[in-house]
Amino acid sequence: MDGPLKNLLVVDLTRVLVGPYCTMILSDLGARVIKIEAPEIGDDSRGFGPFIDDYSAYFMSLNRGKESIALNLKNEDDKKIFEKILAKADILVENFKPGTLEKWGFGWNEVSKKYPKLIYASASGFGQTGPLKELPAYDMVVQGMGGLMSVTGHPNSEPTRVGTSIGDITAGLFTAIGINAALYDRQKTGKGAFIDVSMLDCQIAILENAIARYLSKNEIPEPMGSRHPSIAPFEAFKTKDSFLIIAAGNDKLFKSLCEVLEIPNIATDEMYKTNSLRSQNIDKLKFIIEDKLQHKNTDEWIKVMENLKIPCGPIFNIKQAVENPQIKERNMIVKSFHKKIGEFKSAGNPIKMSTYKDEKIRGDIPDLDEHRDKILKEFS
């Protein structure tokens, strides 16, 4: 892939989601990624469904455009091969439990002495410091411990996981951000850096309104369904046939909404004329809005509201979301190829840059150890 990170070499010691997601971003931005996998087993996610002809679609969706070589870093011969690759690398990304690579002789302190320009990024459940640093963690563990599940779902409902692995994904994103910042810093200093990203830290970092409410008002937020905690009307409303998201985020938009719903007097009512008042009286306001919305289908309301630029939208299932013409226009479903199953579609790169083409076809998906001969010849 062409991109701003072209000619940079990434050594990818990651598996499952947080690390592979990060290195996929780097690959999409042009970096060359050599994925180091455990012999015979490979990345754990090669065994995760769904499957296409015994090949994991989960794995393929995260590892396009990478090269694969199987190495046992406890084996002396394989260590020597790894050292030769590492000597030419710009970036090392790993998501082992803290202390694992130190045991094998590849911790930051050892590696940075040999390769002072190397950027070394570690993504783990709880980070390299603190009383929990040695504990394993999966996505839902940090969603729970990070407070996210406490504000997800409906009032009085059972704990609800966010519908995607946001604990892993946010950590992958923050790791990629840290790596790119370190690359810029290296241009100025000539030195590499160690990047320590904790999945739990990342959950705290994205709590936005919830953490602001607690730290400023000592309030402990609770689940509110689709409702926004401090903006109204800003949630999903029932229509004649389904649900409609309305996000009238200021007084001007609320006035336009009231005009569309043919309730202009509500916009100046003492109970609803400001956002603060609307938030205080949201249950009554919701009843008024839904009473009007029940007369038309969601699609009919969207056409009217979009004409007045009122932020709104339907609630799509995954099929509808993926097949949305807007998504197609933005090249958010791209193709990769696997030598056995052929064409494979996955989510594209949301970073669009004026200086590089957003390709519709991405790099091939590697089988375990597929590039061994090529890599050994190059790094001999």
Catalytic residues: 228
Q: How many CB atoms lie within 10 A of CB 356?
A: 15
Q: How many CB atoms lie within 10 A of CB 275?
A: 18
The Cα 198–Cα 128 span in angstroms is 8
**DSSP three-state, residue 247:** strand
Burial class from Cβ neighbours inside 10 Å (0-12, 13-18, 19+) for residue 34 reads buried
Residue 32 near residue 8 (C-beta atoms within 8 A): yes
The Cα 336–Cα 5 span in angstroms is 20
Q: In angstroms, how far is CA 374 from the centroid of its own chain?
A: 32
Structure tokens that stand for 156 in this block: 């009085």
> Around 202, how many Cα atoms within 13 Å sit in the side-chain half-sphere?
28
CA geometry: angle 262, 268, 274, nearest 5 deg: 115
The phi and psi torsions of 34 (rounded to 5 degrees) equal: -105, 115
The Cα 1–Cα 109 span in angstroms is 32
In the chain the beta strands, taken as DSSP E runs, fall at: 9-13, 32-37, 51-52, 55-56, 66-70, 91-94, 119-124, 193-198, 234-238, 243-247, 312-313, 333-338, 342-347
The Cα 369–Cα 42 span in angstroms is 8
Structure tokens that stand for 302 in this block: 């969207």
Structure tokens that stand for 235 in this block: 């949630």
Residue 339 near residue 366 (C-beta atoms within 8 A): no
Residue 52 near residue 72 (C-beta atoms within 8 A): no
